Amino acid sequence: MLEIIGRAARESLESFGAAGKLTAEAVRSARDVRTWWPNLTLQARQLGVDSLPIGTLIALFTGVVLALLASYSFTGAVPRYLVGTLVQKTVMMELAPVLTGLALAGRVGANIAAELGTMRVTEQIDALETLSYDPVAYLVVPRVIAGVMMFPVVVGVAMFVGLGAGWAASLGLLDLSSTEFLKGARLFFDLFDVRYGLVKAASFGFAVSLLGCVNGLRARGGAQGVGSAATHAVVQSAIMILVLDAFWAVVWLLGRTP
Amino acid sequence: MKTRSNDWLVGLTIVITMGLIVAATLFLQQSELGRKRDTATARFRDVGSLQVGNAVVIRGVSAGRVTQIALAPKGWVVVAMELDRATTLPVDPVVLLQASSLFGEWQAMITSRAAVPVNRDVVAQVEDALDAPTGALPGAVLPDIAQLTTVAGGIAGNVASVAERVRTAFNDTAALELRTSIRNFSVLSGDLARAVRAQSRNLDSLALTARVGLADVAASSAALRRTMQRVDTATSTGALEEILAESRVASRNLRLATERFETLSQALAASEANLRGAIGKADTVLGRIERGEGSIGLLVNDPRLYRNADSLLVELRTLVVDVRRDPKRYFSVRVF
């Protein structure tokens, strides 16, 4: 038992250590623009544009559920236009970034880990090194930049869709007028809400893509190793998203007055 | 070709997403691009829970929103507001900050100074902010529900404290004493009622006397009024001036008579002195006469002299008759 716990701790620390080392290498390799630039839009499309449907779907249902939940909770003296307030604040500041980030952690993190892991176990990365290609500049940097760039895009769309879904649900499923919903949504809206959500999304994109790359490059031993790397990438990305979520809340929300 | 397709798609996605976010933000911030607005500022000592974006209301109608809240020197807070261009401010405008609902929403209400609620603190705030720089409106914060509930909570606590003290103080002994006190109070009430009845009778008598007195006073007042009317009439017709003129003449005559009388008194005093001297001399003469001094004294006191004189007179009368009868016997007139 103790051996299992110790091994898990060591592997976690190794993962974070490897992530730190890879981050430093990626920063160094980012200067080699000619190597990573051609792959950037491809990665941006795979990580961002292709993730829009899942992000939109999550936001759609999240907005509807939030509106219903708020309507269910706000009874008695609580005015119902606060449904709009709850939907706006929750979607923009928390659910859109976190739920979309978790969904993309599964999709993007696993994708990157599996892709790079397969390249590792099939020795394609070794071949790149043999051909004097910098595998970090060629494989890691475009994925990390694409993750940082496109996660906010997907989360932005999710914010828009989630708010619209909550609005539509309030009109269609609740006895709430459009004026009431917008009054609540506008009541406590602040530009900071958008900024906070998008910055969080960018940090999530960085963490998910980096951890996917780390686990993919560390894959060993064939298909099983690739699967294990993908699993590790998803789990670590999900944990990292929650940790970063708490980090930003403490750093940016604590002590802040609206 | 594949790369160009990716570039186009990614670019389009980014642009559309940015557009959506910007549009949604502007929509939620109620930004009205291209619509011109006026600005106004107000200053306060405290802005309560007012936030940027809160509504600005005139007579209950939304007329703009708060755009900036900033600290200013000397303990002021300056609030900037955007107002619809067609908005006309009330006369002598004042900005009042108040909660617009029970859930923390605040608004800035622009109203005229005459419409400020009669609240000592609010009026003091407005007067404090009156000497605002040009263009800045004076402002005040109305007490919100939290302050009211805090005060109400304090009152409730005091009531509870009093109730607790009453409960502690009101035991069996206190109840017995209270019963005794009530009985004493009943007796006292009876005495008081009797005293009140007696005093009521006295008061009736006094009132009657007072009524009679008042009637007399009224009659006197009427007489006085008539007198005053007469005086007023006399004054108004010039009789008083005539009386005064005559009085002045009489006074002058009296003064002259007094002067004459004084002169007469002085002359009388001199005559009296002369008379006293004459009497003294007469007394002296009479004394001498009485003492038989002098011719008259001798004549008075010696009967012989009287008889001699009488016989002398007889002889003289005879002589005169004889002379008349024969003057030549006694007188001889010769020329040469």
Stretch A9-35: mean pLDDT: 82
Between A38, A42, A194, which is nearest B21 by CB?
Answer: A194
The answer, for A199 touching chain B at a CB cutoff of 8 Å, is: no
Q: Tell me, what amino acid is at B122?
A: V
Q: Would you say the C-alpha torsion B261, B267, B270, B276 has a positive or negative sign? A: negative
The count of CB pairs under 8 A between chains A and B is: 60
Q: Tell me, what amino acid is at B304?
A: R
Give the per-residue SS3 of B262-314. HHHHHHHHHHHHHHHHHHHHHHHHHHHHHCCCHHHHHHHHCHHHHHHHHHHHH
Between A48, A78, A190, which is nearest B10 by CB?
Answer: A48
Output B184 or A201, whichever has higher pLDDT.
Answer: A201
Instruction: Tell me if B13 and A52 make a contact (CB, 8 A cut-off).
Output: yes
The answer, for A213 touching chain B at a CB cutoff of 8 Å, is: no
pLDDT value of position B333: 63
Instruction: Tell me if B28 and A186 make a contact (CB, 8 A cut-off).
Output: yes
The answer, for B29 touching chain A at a CB cutoff of 8 Å, is: yes
CA closest to A81 among chain B residues: B103
Instruction: Tell me if B24 and A163 make a contact (CB, 8 A cut-off).
Output: yes
Q: Would you say the C-alpha torsion B180, B181, B186, B192 has a positive or negative sign? A: positive
The answer, for A48 touching chain B at a CB cutoff of 8 Å, is: yes
A-chain CB neighbours of B29 within 8 Å are 186, 189, 191
In percent, the amount of chain A with pLDDT more than 70 equals 99
B-chain CB neighbours of A150 within 8 Å are 10, 13
The answer, for B53 touching chain A at a CB cutoff of 8 Å, is: yes
Classified as helix, coil or strand, B131 is coil
Judged against a pLDDT cut of 90, whether residue B88 lies above it is answered with no
Stretch B109-119: mean pLDDT: 86
pLDDT value of position A15: 74
The answer, for B9 touching chain A at a CB cutoff of 8 Å, is: yes
CA closest to A150 among chain B residues: B14
Q: pLDDT by residue (tens digit) across B138-147?
A: 888 887 766 6
- Residues A153, A96 contacting (CB under 8 angstroms): no
Q: What is the mean pLDDT of chain B?
A: 82
Q: pLDDT by residue (tens digit) across A189-216?
A: 888 999 999 999 999 999 999 999 988 9
pLDDT value of position A135: 85
A-chain CB neighbours of B9 within 8 Å are 45, 49
pLDDT value of position A257: 65
Judged against a pLDDT cut of 70, whether residue A25 lies above it is answered with yes
Judged against a pLDDT cut of 90, whether residue A241 lies above it is answered with yes
Judged against a pLDDT cut of 90, whether residue A148 lies above it is answered with yes
Judged against a pLDDT cut of 80, whether residue B254 lies above it is answered with yes
Nearest-neighbour CA in chain B from A185: distance (Å): 7
ipTM over 0.90: no
Q: pLDDT by residue (tens digit) across B299-316?
A: 677 777 778 878 888 888
Domain boundaries, chain B: 1-31, 34-145, 294-326
Nearest-neighbour CA in chain A from B67: distance (Å): 12
The Cα angle at residue B154 between residues B150 and B155, in degrees rounded to 5: 115
Instruction: Tell me if B28 and A185 make a contact (CB, 8 A cut-off).
Output: yes
Stretch A39-52: mean pLDDT: 89
Nearest-neighbour CA in chain B from A157: distance (Å): 6
Stretch A59-87: mean pLDDT: 86
In percent, the amount of chain A with pLDDT more than 90 equals 46
Judged against a pLDDT cut of 60, whether residue A76 lies above it is answered with yes
Judged against a pLDDT cut of 90, whether residue A133 lies above it is answered with no
The answer, for B14 touching chain A at a CB cutoff of 8 Å, is: yes
Q: Rounded distance, CA B17 to CA A200, Å? A: 17
Q: Rounded distance, CA B7 to CA A38, Å? A: 10
The answer, for A187 touching chain B at a CB cutoff of 8 Å, is: yes
Judged against a pLDDT cut of 60, whether residue B42 lies above it is answered with yes
The answer, for B105 touching chain A at a CB cutoff of 8 Å, is: yes
Judged against a pLDDT cut of 60, whether residue B45 lies above it is answered with yes
Q: Tell me, what amino acid is at B60?
A: G
Q: Rounded distance, CA B222 to CA B226, Å? A: 6
Instruction: Tell me if B29 and A42 make a contact (CB, 8 A cut-off).
Output: no
